[in-house]
Structure formats: C-alpha cells, structure tokens
Amino acid sequence: QKGGFEHFMLKEIHEEPRAVRDTMAAYIKDDIQDLVKNLPDLSKYNEIHIVSCGSAMYAGMIAKSLIETKARVKVDVEIASEYRYKDPILSKDTLVLLVSQSGETADTLAALLLAKEQGIDTFAIVNVVGSSIAREAKYVAYTLAGPEIAVATTKAYCTQVALLSLIALNLAYIHNRITQKEIDQIIEEIHCLPDILNELLKDEQYITAGKIISRHSNVFFLGRGLDYALSMEGSLKLKEISYIHSEAYAAGELKHGTISLIEKGTPVIAICTDERLFEKTISNIKEVKARGANVILFVREGLNVSEDYYDYKIEIPKVDMMLQGIVTVVPLQLLSYQVANLRGCEIDQPRNLAKSVTVE
Ligand code: F6R
C-alpha cells in the first residue's frame, strides 16, 4: 500500500509530479484560443475572498500574492473559523473561493453556506469528489491529487497551489496584465514541471539541514511575499509532524519583537526565491546572523548570496514566479519529513490530529 515507501507521507510527496501534471492537464486548454478549460468565468468579480483552514489557507496566501501582483485583483485570505463569525462584508462582485482537500472541513463548509445564503457566488477547489463542500458550491474544480492518507497534507497542497497559480495566470490574462509571449513561456514551463519536481525528489541537499534542525526545539522560518506564504506552510508542516516549535515570520517583521528569541545556534530557515524582494530578505538574514542564528537558506538558483550570511544552503530550481511555489514547497516537505523521521515521530498520524476536521 505504501508502494515501498516507509510512510504514506513520503509516498505522497513522491506522487507530486504526477498529481501536478494531472491537475494542470485538466484545466489548461490545448488550443491557444483560451488559456483554461473547465473553470468558471472569473472576469466579473472585483474581489475574491479565499476562505480555508491550515495548509489550504496557506495555499490561498500564495494565490493572493500572485493574483494581486500579476492580475491586480483584490484578494483577502481568511481563516474559515474567523470568517464565519465576523459577518463578512460581501457584495455581488465578490467571489468566495473555498479551498479544501477533504471537502468536509466544518468551518470551511459553514463559510460557504453563509456566502451562499446571502446569494454570493461560491467556488470550491476540492480534492475529494462528491464531498460536502463540492456539493454545496456553485462552481467546483477538483485537484487531481488522488487519495491522501497521511494526516499532513503534501500532494493535495501542491495541487492546490498548482491550480490556484493557473487561476492567477488566467486572471492576469483576462485583465490584460500579461503578454502572449509570457503566457507561452509559462505554459511551456508548466509542461516541464513534472520533470523538475522529479529531479527535486532525487536531490538530497536538505539532509544536512534536517540533521541540524532535529536537534533543536525552536525554529524560525522567514520570507517575504510569496516566500512568506511558503514559510507559513513549511513551519506548519515541521511542527505538526516533528513536534518542534516553529514560527514563520514575514522577514521584515522579525525585528518588531521576535528577534529577541534568536540566540546562538537558533535555526532560522530563510526562504528567498523572489528576485524583487531578494535584497530586502538578505538584509533580514544579516540581522539574525549577527545574533548568532544558524541560517539555513532556501534560495532560488541564480540569486547569489555571500557565504557570510548563511550556514547551509539549499538551492531551488528557477521557474517563473507564477510557478515558484509549486517547486519550492517540495524540499520544505522533505525537510520536515526527514526531521520527524530522525526524531522517531509517528509521521502519518501525528498526535492529536485528524485527517478531516468535521467539528468546529
Ligand atoms: C496540514 C493539514 C491541515 C489541513 C486543514 C484543512 O498539513 O493537513 O492544516 O490543510 O485541516 O483541511 P482541508 O483541506 O481538508 O479542508
């Protein structure tokens, strides 16, 4: 059942190239006339509320970053358990977009029903066919990750990011914010993604970093923009399966309090893939390094950082920013897996957690 892997989580990470390929193939149009197929027309909405929980919400944060920067459409990312009780401000031009692997998460479902009762359009991105959220939403698009057994989501998250990235690309196209040449290049890269992901799965750069982290009880992640969203996911994955306390910070925010926790040897995992924000993140890395942090740098290839500022470097293949999240998450997942494995944790079934949270 585990296909020769020690845990379902590792098996599911190795299914990501296939899962991303299938999900993309289900929604990219083959002819050039239109970019996507099997997706609702999102051109009429001037605001999108992405409502979800946990990793699905962090996938939503990636979408927000891409949709706002590339398509200039306003996106709010909301924690479902907050959204449902805050009397959200909704208008006919708002789309409520629910993201859920299981399609059964109680708070996400309740948020959907709340919007639906008010006559607001709802669109669900769901992995489990026929699940409650899929049935209740006005529009549904399935991620094609296949069944996910490990409690911590990996391949489903990866396909959520893939589909949301495609939606962001389509919105940029609809709103004339991207040239045909850029689209063609991105589509070409999408076709290469399975190979890139397969190569990443063979890459063992993260192993030394895993050994370092496994000996600590406090870890920080930092990044800006898209890399901040990825930091949130990397941090959640690490804490939920390895039981190491971890916090993710927007890199520029650390100095507003949290930097007091950095002492000699504290591991700081810095994610740096966005060229536009690169210099800014490096200056934050210098700040933690100066306080003795043990810096593990996830950096996109082609971005040069002096060896003075990190202790260990993991290089991430360069793809278009629209697709960078899909690629960068893989070594983050492998790192968490390795740390949890070194610590002898019950990886597929961490304590206190359930695969599908059907209570509020
Ligand atoms: C983390 C994880 C959870 C889920 C969250 C939402 O690894 O799996 O944070 O992402 O419980 O679940 P779904 O996507 O089923 O609504």
**Residue-by-residue DSSP string for 48-108:** EEEEE-HHHHHHHHHHHHHIIIII--EEEEEEHHHHTTS-----TTEEEEEEESSS--HHH
**What was the pLDDT predicted at 241?**
98
Ligand 1 atom 9 nearest Cα:
54
- What three-state secondary structure class fits 238? helix
What order do you get walking across the sheet with 218-223 strand by strand? 245-250, 218-223, 267-272, 294-300, 312-316
- Kindly give the number of the ligand 1 atom that is closest to the alpha carbon of 157: 10
Name the 3-class secondary structure at 289.
helix
- Provide the residue type at 346 as one letter: E
ipTM summary value: 0.99
Q: How far is the CA of 255 from the centre of ligand 1 (A)?
A: 30
Number of the ligand 1 atom closest to the C-alpha atom of 56? 10
To test the pocket of ligand 1, the residue of 352, 357, 359, 360 to mutate (highest count of ligand atoms within 8 Å of its CB) is 357
Indicate if the alpha-carbon torsion angle 333, 256, 224, 156 is positive or negative. Answer: positive
- In this structure, what token pair is assigned to residue 134? 């899929």
Ligand 1 center from residue 236 Cα (angstroms): 10
User: Which residue shows structure tokens 């991620």?
Assistant: 143
264 is catalytic: no
Nearest CA-CA partner of 48 in 26, 23, 72 = 72
Beta bridge partners of 123: 97, 139
Bridging pattern class, strands 121-126 and 218-223: unpaired
Non-local CB neighbours of 206 within 8 Å, separated by 6+ positions: 314, 331, 334, 335, 338
Residue 32 has a pLDDT of 61
| Cβ-Cβ contacts under 8 Å for 325 (sequence gap 6 or more) | 62, 66, 161, 165, 226, 229, 230
What pLDDT, on the 0 to 100 scale, is given for residue 356?
Answer: 85
Given 74, 138, 318, 355, the catalytic residue: 355
Would you write out the chain's pLDDT as a tens digit for each of its 360 residues? 899 999 999 999 999 999 999 999 999 987 666 789 999 999 999 999 999 999 999 999 999 999 999 999 999 999 999 999 999 999 999 999 999 999 999 999 999 999 999 999 999 999 999 999 999 999 999 999 999 999 999 999 999 999 999 999 999 999 999 999 999 999 999 999 999 999 999 999 999 999 999 999 999 999 999 999 999 999 999 999 999 999 999 999 999 988 999 999 999 999 999 999 999 999 999 999 999 999 999 999 999 999 999 999 999 999 999 999 999 999 999 999 999 999 999 999 999 998 888 888
Tell me the CB-side half-sphere exposure of residue 27, using CA atoms within 13 A. 26
- CA angle centred on 47, ends 127 and 221, rounded to 5°: 60
The pLDDT assigned to 33 comes to 65
Q: Residues lining ligand 1, judged by CB closer than 6 Å?
A: 53-56, 100-102, 105, 108, 152-153, 236-237, 240, 356-357
Please tell me the distance between residue 312's alpha carbon and the centre of ligand 1 in angstroms.
30
Q: Whose CA is nearest to atom 5 of ligand 1?
A: 54
CA-wise closest residue to 139 among 13, 17, 36: 36
Atom index in ligand 1 nearest the CA of residue 160 equals 14
Write out the two tokens for 325.
């999240």
